[in-house]
């Protein structure tokens, strides 16, 4: 792990993310790319009249100064921190910057969201999770300890999930943690018998790992929703981190179908890491 991006909006949640990234950076010798996105478009800067341009530039400089002060933290000492300021808040841009800089991970803080606010607006973190091709680590509270010992990776063991499983396994190895694989079996039309699940898991592991040695490490959970199954299992084993694959649904498909990974990122009290399919 060489580069970690932390989007900063000066909130308490983004400071949690910055501190969590600092702990990971120290452990891995990584650089932190602190990203602040101003809500000022190039159109405003170039087309506004003289007085408006002066006001805009003043607020731009003020935000840059505030950003510099925000990064003046004891826990960032001896860590290479590169500030990046973008002038317009477009959440797909976070993914673009991650790809351009070769970042390994995006770390974000989140309060989560619920109810009508979650359906109509969602959180900034949710939008980044939906767009990002780079793994996103979502932090919910002050990271007192960032020693991830037990990581739950929720998987449907379909062929489409192989790449995300391999990436998650690689990340867990970098974190020097233990991965707990979990499959959530649902009632109704999606229910599978034990024999059907084991056949699917065996086929998956042969393609992903070249063998079925990890068959005994897969945990089968029965619950009413995938989200509940993952959260309940994570609490049961005392997990430190939940890792899930996301389809990155957008627009009308996202509205009607939702996204399990986004729901978990919103509702889990544990840190959540997402891998886009």
Q: Which residues pair with 151 in a beta bridge?
A: 179, 241
Residues 61-98: pLDDT tens digits? 777 788 888 899 999 999 999 988 877 666 678 888 99
Residue 229 has pLDDT above 80, yes or no: yes
Q: What ranges do the domains of the chain cover? A: 1-142, 147-277
CATH class of 1-142: alpha beta
Q: Which residues of 221-239 are buried (b: 16+ CB within 10 A; e: fewer)?
A: bebeebbebbbebbeeeeb
- Per-chain mean pLDDT for the chain: 83
- Tell me how far apart the alpha carbons of residues 164 and 276 are, in angstroms, rounded to a whole number: 7
CATH class of 147-277: alpha beta
Return the pLDDT at 105.
95
Residues 143-169: pLDDT tens digits? 776 788 999 999 899 998 999 999 999
């Amino acid at each position: 792990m060489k580069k970690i991006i932390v989007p900063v909006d000066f909130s308490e949640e983004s400071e949690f993310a910055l501190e969590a990234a600092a702990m990971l950076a120290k452990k891995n010798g990584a650089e932190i790319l602190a990203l602040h996105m101003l809500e000022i478009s190039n159109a405003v800067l170039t087309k506004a009249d003289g007085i408006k341009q002066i006001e805009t530039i003043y607020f731009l400089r003020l935000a840059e100064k505030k950003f510099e002060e925000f990064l003046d933290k004891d826990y960032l000492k001896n860590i290479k921190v590169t500030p990046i300021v973008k002038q317009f808040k477009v959440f797909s841009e976070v993914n673009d910057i991650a790809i351009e800089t070769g970042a390994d991970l995006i770390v974000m803080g989140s309060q989560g969201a619920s109810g009508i606010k979650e359906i109509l607006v969602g959180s900034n973190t949710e939008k980044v999770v939906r767009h990002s091709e780079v793994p996103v680590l979502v932090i919910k509270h002050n990271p007192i300890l960032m020693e991830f010992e037990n990581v739950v990776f929720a998987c449907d063991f379909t062929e489409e999930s192989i790449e995300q499983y391999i990436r998650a396994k690689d990340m867990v190895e970098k974190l020097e943690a233990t991965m707990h694989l979990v499959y959530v079996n649902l009632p109704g039309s999606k229910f599978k018998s034990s024999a059907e699940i084991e056949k699917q898991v065996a086929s998956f592991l042969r393609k992903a790992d070249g063998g079925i040695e990890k068959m005994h490490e897969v945990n089968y959970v029965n619950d009413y929703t995938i989200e509940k199954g993952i959260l309940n299992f994570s609490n049961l084993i005392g997990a430190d981190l939940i890792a899930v694959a996301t389809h990155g649904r957008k627009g009308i498909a996202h509205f009607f179908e939702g996204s399990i990974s986004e729901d978990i990122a919103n509702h889990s009290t544990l840190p959540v890491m997402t891998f886009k399919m």
